[in-house]
Structure 1
Amino acid sequence: MIEVVNPTTEEVVGTVRAGTAGDVDTAVTRAVAAFPGWAATSVADRLAVVRAVADGLAARADELASTMTAEMGTPITFASKVQVPNPIGIVRGIETTLSSGYFDGEEIGNSLVLREPVGVVAAITPWNFPLQQMVAKVVPALAAGNTVVLKPSELAPFTADLLSEVLHGAGVPEGVFSLVHGTGPVVGEALAAHPMVDMVSFTGSTRAGRRVSALAAETVKRVTLELGGKSANVVLDDADLTRAVKIGVANAFMNNGQACSAWTRLLVPADRHDEALEVAAAAAAKYEPGDPALTTT
């Protein structure tokens, strides 16, 4: 079993079963069997499922927000205003794409471009924006007619359980979507290496991304990697330095600083270094640690 720890209280808030390579093989085998039927469904039918997913997420918004706060520590206000609405917006955008004739084919010069599902997609997601990362991988893949096996972060697995319930409640058939909890070295590697997985989409560290890419290359899978980085905040000579630095610090503290898009490198003109440092220190001092379950935090 994997213990799930609330990072605020350091208390165990629940457990999930650690998946094995055998569990991955079972899920992938079911996905392979379900693929022909799901790929053959009409765009209208898949569109109906996507709409139901958006509605299902909206209906459980409060539960999703509080679950993320408990298992990965994001403030409940940020969870309610960003961590849940963003994924719902992504699903609504997929609705628009499906409705716009995306799969009708497109003539470019003398060529006819047809968009078809890839097959079985493995999605491996991180813990910092758990719902958004899962939705951004799983729902477009399903909408395109693929079947999906998801391995969420073992640090934030309960949000994945809720998403799974929403997906099946929206009409996603058994086998079309499967969820396998577990660690990267076991479940993640088994998915990346599985010969019947056609594509793997991974978000996480550069080190882990190299491993996923190497394993996937053995079977020449399609691979999508979103890896680590440090976002630069460049303040030019003519900027309002005080305002720019304050905004930069606010972005660095977003989601407790647990974001790939956090502005964690502040680059300022050398002759204003000391001034920028003073403003940044004063801005950071105004952020007080608190219970993320409280709306005042």
Structure 2
Amino acid sequence: MTTEQFYIDGRWVAPLSSDGMDIVSPGNDAVCGRVALGSAADVDLAVSAAKRAFVSWSQTTPAERRAVLERVVKVYARRSNDIADAMMLEMGAPKTLARGAQAGAGLGHLKDFVRAMDQIHWERPLFQGDTENHIVMEAKGVAALITPWNWPMNQVTLKVGAALAAGCTMVLKPSELSPISAAVFAEILDEAGVPAGVFNLVHGTGPVVGERLAGHPDVAVISLTGSTRAGIAVTKTGADTIKRVGLELGGKGANIIFADADVEAAATQTAQHMFRNSGQSCNAPSRMLVERSVYDRAVAAAAAVAGQVKVGRPEADDTQMGPVVSAAQHQRIQSLIRTGISEGAVVAAGGPDNPEGLNDGFYVKPTVFSGATNQMTIAREEIFGPVLTIIPFDDEAEAVTIANDSVYGLAAYIWTGDSERARRVSRKLRSGMIRLNGSDLPFGAPFGGFGQSGIGREGGVWGIEEYLEVKAISGWTAA
């Protein structure tokens, strides 16, 4: 493994710090490797390499950068199973999910950035027909990219792909809980011929590596996906040097089911979505709001899904839901399930403690709460586990009020047979993404939210523009 080295200036190098931590596989609570934890000095080396490389990389043409991205796509596709196996080991993604959506998300985003580059007006006149005033879109500078463990390649490629397309150089700090897939990704970029210094990788913790990146005077852009706490800290630190900050943070997605929908199908698909990736998705539909006249039917359908989910070891072919990522996360989820019970919610399926026969590893029962209100802790906090909270409502206005009564505003879901209602409610919800009747957003759609769900957007044209600066030039004469 290369998790005990960093990738800086086109080479694998030994860390300057001797700090490290064991990599624990959540599937069996066994040590499966070790990751080096970088220091501020390691970050300084990586940022210096990125700063030097920026001089030439920022002056490449979009066509030259597209060619590099296309090579990255080819190598990634060939090594997709290596990426998947790493995620299966380090964060417990079931084999089918790891080789499907988890690895596939990275490839999909990289391919889409190739396409999106052709949609950006890199240079254009200020006004149509203007021959004297010109607008140029240029790379912002060195980017610090801080990514989480729950969808490792989804988030790494959303940031790295966009920065490469824009002409930025970068330093990636992946989560210390998912370092193996990040190391494989660095190998992919190296093989694809990304120039030395353009991409750099330093493993480490947020309080050390993340904080140094956020405060480094030579970093121009910070893009973080993580907790609200981490987002606040990065924003405060980055403000001292006036950095552009992009944040993709938490969510508590409202999933509204009206009585005129196919209630059983809507509740079934919602529960399946909720338990996917062990509930460890910021856009998970964790609050299911159901019209009171069909509430019991929805609860029964969701509980049935919970009872049928095959929870098991990540490497098993028939596993549908694996473990959560760590002992700390496991303990927090179990505590929140018990809090839900103590506050009066009814366990319709699942509950506390590990599933039967899975005592080693960090497994959680797929859990459904009914009889909940939006003021309960399980409806307010992002649990980040396989826990679905079902809340009744009486009419459309109440549904919108409950949905918007959250500090978050990332993703929302609406199920109704009335297309006019779907459009009307969509406009009223304070969420960055709305999915109607089980539809999905494609690669290239802007990913991000309102409120404490973050700042900025990732994916497609919007994602690339996060790394671009606007330059206005007067007195321009066309060549």
TM-score, scaled relative to structure 1: 0.96
Asked if 1 retains the 8 angstrom alpha-carbon contact of 2:259 and 2:293, the reply is: no
Q: Deviations over 1:92-131 (max 9, x none)?
A: 1111223456424354456643210001000000001101
- In the TM superposition, residue 257 of structure 1 has moved relative to its aligned partner by 1.0
Whether 1:285 and 2:307 are equivalent positions in the alignment is yes
What are the within-5 Å matches in structure 2 for residues 1-297 of structure 1? 1-100=20-119, 102-105=121-124, 107-108=126-127, 112-297=134-319
Greater Cα shift, 45-54 or 269-278: 269-278
Asked if 1 retains the 8 angstrom alpha-carbon contact of 2:95 and 2:315, the reply is: yes
Greater Cα shift, 14-23 or 88-97: 88-97
CA 1:163–1:102 in 2, change beyond 3 Å: closer, same or farther? farther
Code of the aligned partner of 1:25 = D
The equivalent of 2:467 in structure 1 is none
- In the TM superposition, residue 242 of structure 1 has moved relative to its aligned partner by 1.1
Q: Deviations over 1:28-51 (max 9, x none)?
A: 111111111111222222111100
Asked if 1 retains the 8 angstrom alpha-carbon contact of 2:123 and 2:135, the reply is: no
Asked if 2 retains the 8 angstrom alpha-carbon contact of 1:6 and 1:12, the reply is: yes
- In the TM superposition, residue 271 of structure 1 has moved relative to its aligned partner by 3.4
Partner SS state of residue 260, structure 1 = coil
Structure 1 CA distance for aligned equivalents of residues 312 and 140 of structure 2: 45
TM-score, scaled relative to structure 2: 0.60
Greater Cα shift, 86-95 or 3-12: 86-95
Structure 1 CA distance for aligned equivalents of residues 121 and 180 of structure 2: 33
Code of the aligned partner of 2:86 = T
Asked if 2 retains the 8 angstrom alpha-carbon contact of 1:122 and 1:148, the reply is: yes
Partner SS state of residue 274, structure 2 = helix
Structure 2 CA distance for aligned equivalents of residues 106 and 260 of structure 1: 40
Aligned length: 297
In structure 1, runs of 5+ residues without a counterpart are none
Greater Cα shift, 129-138 or 265-274: 265-274
Greater Cα shift, 177-186 or 43-52: 43-52
Partner SS state of residue 83, structure 1 = helix
Code of the aligned partner of 2:261 = A
Partner SS state of residue 115, structure 1 = strand
Structure 1 CA distance for aligned equivalents of residues 116 and 305 of structure 2: 41
Structure 2 CA distance for aligned equivalents of residues 101 and 94 of structure 1: 11
Asked if 2 retains the 8 angstrom alpha-carbon contact of 1:47 and 1:99, the reply is: no
Greater Cα shift, 257-266 or 180-189: 257-266
Q: Deviations over 1:199-252 (max 9, x none)?
A: 000001111101111001111100000110111110012112111111110010
Structure label with greater radius of gyration: 2
Asked if 2 retains the 8 angstrom alpha-carbon contact of 1:16 and 1:181, the reply is: yes
CA 1:65–1:108 in 2, change beyond 3 Å: closer, same or farther? farther
- In the TM superposition, residue 3 of structure 1 has moved relative to its aligned partner by 1.2
- In the TM superposition, residue 169 of structure 1 has moved relative to its aligned partner by 1.2
Asked if 2 retains the 8 angstrom alpha-carbon contact of 1:120 and 1:196, the reply is: yes
Q: Deviations over 1:148-185 (max 9, x none)?
A: 00000000001110111111111112211110100011
The equivalent of 2:339 in structure 1 is none
Code of the aligned partner of 1:87 = G
> Of Structure 1 and Structure 2, which has the larger fraction of its residues in helix?
1
Greater Cα shift, 149-158 or 22-31: 22-31
Code of the aligned partner of 1:75 = P
- Report the RMSD for the aligned CA atoms in angstroms: 1.5
Code of the aligned partner of 1:76 = K
Structure 2 CA distance for aligned equivalents of residues 10 and 18 of structure 1: 21
- In the TM superposition, residue 274 of structure 1 has moved relative to its aligned partner by 2.8
Structure 2 CA distance for aligned equivalents of residues 42 and 273 of structure 1: 56
In structure 2, runs of 5+ residues without a counterpart are 1-19, 320-479
Partner SS state of residue 84, structure 1 = helix
> Of Structure 1 and Structure 2, which has the larger fraction of its residues in strand?
2
Greater Cα shift, 286-295 or 208-217: 286-295
Q: Deviations over 1:1-56 (max 9, x none)?
A: 12111101111111111000111111111111111111122222211110010001
Structure 2 CA distance for aligned equivalents of residues 113 and 226 of structure 1: 29
Structure 1 CA distance for aligned equivalents of residues 124 and 94 of structure 2: 44
Structure 2 CA distance for aligned equivalents of residues 104 and 89 of structure 1: 27
